[in-house]
Structure 1
Amino acid sequence: SGLWSGLSSGLSSGLSSGLWSGPQTGSVCLFCSEVVRAMTFVIDQGMAMYWGTSRWNAVEIMEAYSIARQFNLVPPVCEQAEYHYFQRDKVELHLPELYHKIGVGAMTWSPLACGLLTGKYNEGVPESSRAAMKGYSWLKERLCSDEGKKQLSKIKELHLLADRLNCTPAQLAIAWCLRSEGVSSVLLGVSNTEQLLENLGSLRVLSQLTPPLIAEMDALLGNKPRGTKKEARS
């Protein structure tokens, strides 16, 4: 559990850019066959080149792949998953196996955890922030929880590490996501050109994330998923 586990439950889902947020059942998706057939039709009609899933688990993705292979349809090529300092298990434990078996990569979202990792909430909830907006009371409640306060404390320490690397906290957080095996791309959300340029600066930080530095960050976070075999690009 914790502040950011299950964050997706507070967000809406739908069909966006060819990424289908499918029916969640806890096992195999109810309409996997229909989704695979529909996406194949969309591609055959020239309306898209590829399709991917969003917030599906490994079993559901594998089922879609099996159906596609069985009936000569188009399988998904990526999974859109939440991934940041406090949401790690799926991308680091479950998706790498699919990446090696069937080539499904991860397109991750919320690298800054709704702005939490930038330090926006270190001194409370600003009136202009997302947590202060109507409909985001769940976010404010989590920020004020005991677990939320612990995470904010860890974020302050990570900011000191960012200072050592001569980068911003946002750049460090995004580079940390990019370093993970199987992550094909990281989705960014920005409000202006300055934020976009800052976020793109994470590419130059990536080369500074050495194994010792990653180990230091893991020790600070204290939430490295167990069973991780290979999680960083060499």
Structure 2
Amino acid sequence: MEFRYLGNSGLKISEITYGNWLTHGSQVENDVAARCVRAALDAGITSFDTADAYANTAAEVVLGDALKGERRASLEIFTKVYWPTGPKGHNDVGLSRKHIMESIDGSLMRLQTDYVDLYQAHRYDVETPLEETMQAFADIVRAGKALYIGVSEWDADQLRAGAALAKDLGFQLISNQPQYSMLWRVIEDTVVPTSEELGISQIVWSPVAQGVLTGKYKAGAPAPEGSRARDEKGGATTVTGFMRDEVLTAVAKLEPIATEQGLTMAQLALAWVLQNPNVASAIMGASRPEQVVDNVRASGVTLDADVLARIDEAVGGVAERDPAQTVSPAARPV
């Protein structure tokens, strides 16, 4: 496993982050989740990403149990706040001071830790003054409950405004967590250049496009049994946008490229996002320990310019690039 600095900070994180969205507390049983975390640790992963909203707080509980007994200083634990949690009352959502302050304490309790390494705004809250949100984050950092602050799916203007307020308050934004893959490149035109200017790194989610870039889905064929596209608990809705025949046909052209590089298609997809120097880490989920063992081999892989050009020729034409696709909810969800 190789490591990269996160933003303009001294914090190093593993190039592959283990994430438990859609899995822990939902898709897989707790004992399987624990084995996946164990496999991640054994493979050298030290960074673990979750959120209070995942499985309505259950994912944090599972991760906390799975990491119990590990040396805390050897781990980087990330969580997030914004989406509705708990009974989902009128203040159980957003980035108000009330919700942030109550949420960090709940997350720490569930994760069984005194602090998180990175606390992230899961989306931008259009209903709360940004000054209120950033002041709450500053207070959490000063209280030692979070060491660093990041965001998720903020656009370039939001990143710039948040970074300026953070600086005034004596801390810094060091990360953004956007969706990014060969098929979803919306951060490249504005978010990445702005982030480079501000000293912010990307921790990217869905680098294998919800499993589509593994090659498991074939044009004109039904989704395999047990795949995310068959998951009625929520996974199926997340992958729908990639399940068009023209996308699946393009993805199939990646198979010989991966084979020539001695990689699986999933490893190729993970390695591809890591070629972007603004990407500090790629988040990888797993429903089986062997998936972890296979996918961590993407760390440290270098793809030559000609390989990158062939990948772009294969799937670049079906990739989404519109920066306007980076958007937070127009109102707080309920």
Q: Please give the range of the TM-score, normalised by the shorter of the 2 chains.
A: 0.7 to 0.9
SS in 1 for 2:223: coil
Q: What residue in structure 2 maps to residue 61 of structure 1?
A: 159
**1:138 and 2:237 aligned:** yes
CA contact (8 A) 1:36 1:75 kept: no
Choose between structure 1 and 2 for higher RCO, CA contacts under 8 A separated by at least 6 residues: 2
- The residue type equivalent to 1:50 in the other structure is Y
TM-score (norm 1): 0.79
Deviations 1:214-233 (A, max 9, x none): 1111122234759xxxxxxx
Following superposition, the deviation at residue 201 of structure 1 comes to 0.6
Q: How many percent identity over aligned positions?
A: 26
* 1:216 aligned residue: 310
Asked if residue 98 in structure 1 is aligned to residue 194 in structure 2, the reply is: yes
Q: CA deviation at 1:137?
A: 4.8
Using the TM superposition, give the Cα deviation of residue 18 of structure 1 relative to its aligned residue in structure 2, in angstroms: 1.0
* 2:226 aligned with 1:128: yes
Match of residue 133, structure 2, among 18, 35, 45: 35
* TM, length-normalised to structure 2: 0.56
> Partner of 2:92 in structure 1?
none
Match of 1:231 in 2: none
The CA deviation at 1:157 is: 0.7
Of 168-177 and 40-49, deviating more is: 40-49
Q: Which moved more, 1:116-125 or 1:164-173?
A: 116-125
In the alignment, which of 245, 267, 271 is matched to residue 175 of structure 1? Answer: 271
How has the CA–CA distance of structure 1 residues 176 and 34 changed in structure 2, closer, same or farther, with 3 Å as cutoff?
Answer: same
Given residue 121 of structure 2, which amino acid in structure 1 is its aligned partner?
W
| Secondary structure of residue in 2 paired with 1:174 | helix
Distance in 2 of aligned mates of 1:33 and 1:215: 43
Q: Which amino acid is 1:38 matched to?
A: A
Output the CA distance in 2 between the equivalents of 1:141 and 1:219: 23
Give me the whole-angstrom Cα distance separating, in 2, the residues matched to 1:176 and 1:107: 14
- Select which of 108, 117, 121 maps to 2:204: 108
Deviations 1:150-169 (A, max 9, x none): 11011111011111111100
Q: Show the counterpart of 1:119.
A: 215
Which digits, 9 at most, give the CA deviation of each residue in 1:72-103, with x for residues without a partner?
3322110000001111021x222332233210
Cα separation, 1, equivalents of 2:250 and 2:205 = 21
Question: May I ask how many residue pairs the two structures share in their alignment?
Answer: 205
State the distance in 1 between where 2:208 and 2:276 align.
15
Q: 1:124 & 1:39 partners in 2: Cα distance?
A: 46
Cα drift, residue 32 of structure 1:
1.6
What is the match of residue 114 of structure 2?
none
AA in 1 matched with 2:306: P
Give 3-state SS (helix, strand or coil) of 2:176's partner. Answer: strand
Residue 22 of structure 1: aligned partner: 123
Aligned residue in 2 for 1:85? 182
**Aligned residue number for residue 173 of structure 2:** 76
- Choose which of 248, 255, 263 in structure 2 pairs with 1:152: 248
2:143 to 23, 36, 45: 45
RMSD: 2.3
CA distance in 2, matches of 1:74, 1:140: 36
| Matching residue of 2:65 | none
CA distance in 2, matches of 1:84, 1:94: 16
Q: Report how far residue 193 of structure 1 moved.
A: 2.3
1:125-167 Cα shifts (integer Å, max 9, x gaps)? 12311211224453565455xxx11110111110111111111
Shift of 1:35: 1.6
Counterpart of 2:189 in structure 1: which amino acid? L
> Could you say which residue in structure 2 is the equivalent of 1:3?
none
Name the residue aligned to 1:187.
283
- Which residue type is aligned with residue 124 of structure 2? P
Question: What one-letter code is carried by the residue in structure 1 that aligns with 2:183?
Answer: F
Per the alignment, do residues 152 and 80 of structure 1 end up closer, same or farther by CA in structure 2, a change over 3 Å counting?
same
